Every structure is written in C-alpha cells, then in structure tokens.
Chains A and B, each alone.
Chain A
Amino acid sequence: GENVEQHPSTLSVQEGDSAVIKCTYSDSASNYFPWYKQELGKGPQLIIDIRSNVGEKKDQRIAVTLNKTAKHFSLHITETQPEDSAVYFCAAGGPSGGSYIPTFGRGTSLIVHP
C-alpha cells in the first residue's frame, strides 16, 4: 500500500516569512495529492490539491509542487499570517479496486509568530 512521509513535524516562522512543508510517497500509481488544514477543534479542510498531470498549482499565497519522478510534493505558503497557524496534512492516493482512499501524512504543526 501507499506510504506517505511528511516533514517537518513542527515549523515555526515569523509573520511574513515563507513556509515549506514536504511530503514523499511510495506508490507510483498515486495520482492525486491534496493538502488539508486543520485548525484546533475542527476537522481538516481542503486548501489545495494537485493531480499528476501538472507539476505546479498556485492559489493566492499557497502553491503546491509535484515531482512524480522523485515521488515528492511540497506545500509553499508565502507571506505567512498568524491565521495560517494550524496543522497541515498532505495525502496521496490513486484508484485501488475502484475506491479512492488517500493515505495521509502525520501532519505539520505550523506556528506563525506575529
């Protein structure tokens, strides 16, 4: 099955700095890579996703890059703000027997200091 590694587990930055979270995956058949943000006491919420037919996707201050050859993908947050503080999860998945069940990384706790 798929195995997703996520680093770092904790990331502390100053407001305005950039933050980068990296993930690797093991199954070359994976073709969907979502990123979720989980605020305290809430469920994860999708913030951006990328499919295997593109190498980069951007949405305002967040961007995701994908390197299928190396089997890694990254989340980039620019001009960080205190409200970006949360736990971020990457995931990877592909069709398996007709179902679509992504495998999640262990999460990165991002702390943005004002």
Chain B
Amino acid sequence: GAGVSQSPSNKVTEKGKDVELRCDPISGHTALYWYRQSLGQGLEFLIYFQGNSAPDKSGLPSDRFSAERTGGSVSTLTIQRTQQEDSAVYLCASSLRTGGYNEQFFGPGTRLTVL
C-alpha cells in the first residue's frame, strides 16, 4: 500500500503569512508525529498524536505552531505569522501503535522557505 504522503512538497511564503502543511499517514496507523529538520540538524520533535488521546504538544516551539488530526487520520500542521527561522523541512511519520515501540514510517517532507 501507499506510504506516508505529505503536501505540498515545497512551499515558499513571505514572512508574516500563515501556512498549512498536510500529512496523510499509512492507513491503520494510530500514531502520528511531526518533526522539523533544519539544515545540518537532527530531527526536532514537534507534536505527537496517538489515537483519541490528547496530543503531546511538548515540542512545539511557539504558540504560532499548531496541529490537528481529523478522524484519526489526516493531520495538518499550521504555522501562523511565519518567520524566516521557520524555514526547514517538516517531516511527518506514522506508526502502528500496539504497545511498545513500533517502526516510524516517514513521509518525504515539506520544504518550507520563508522569505
């Protein structure tokens, strides 16, 4: 079946604009993660959804960042009033959470450039 998909693949925006990034996880995967990857950096955790539980938002860098997951499937990461330091690749991953660790399957990412 299809893997994790993300859209758009590239997004160029102007400083101060809002952006929405979309993630379609693998069907049946109950866990969904968002990460940010800046140039030369590792994967910075942003937010985690698991089933119907309240999301773990501990990684969101500021209140300009928010995410939602509708119907336990598609997720949208929203960045309001974008800043140049928000420029990065945003990666989404999903996993089959049946207890304990499960492999994370990553999407190809959305490259965000804030001018």
Contacts and interface: CB of A to CB of B under 8 A. Distances in A.
Nearest to B101: A32
A102 B104 CA distance: 10
Interface in A83-99: 89, 91, 93, 97, 99
Contacts of B50: 99
Interface string B51-78: 0000010000000000000000000000
Contact of A99 (B48, B104, B109): B48
B33 A46 contact: no
Contacts of A43: 4, 91, 93, 106-109
Interface string A28-51: 000010101000011111100101
Given A42-B108, A43-B4, A44-B91, A106 B40 contact: yes
Contacts, number: 59
Chain B, interface size category, equals: 20 to 34
Contacts of B100: 100
Interface of A: 4, 6, 9, 32, 34, 36, 41-46, 49, 51, 89, 91, 93, 97, 99-107
Interface of B: 4, 31, 33, 35, 40-43, 45, 48, 50, 56, 91, 93, 97, 100-109
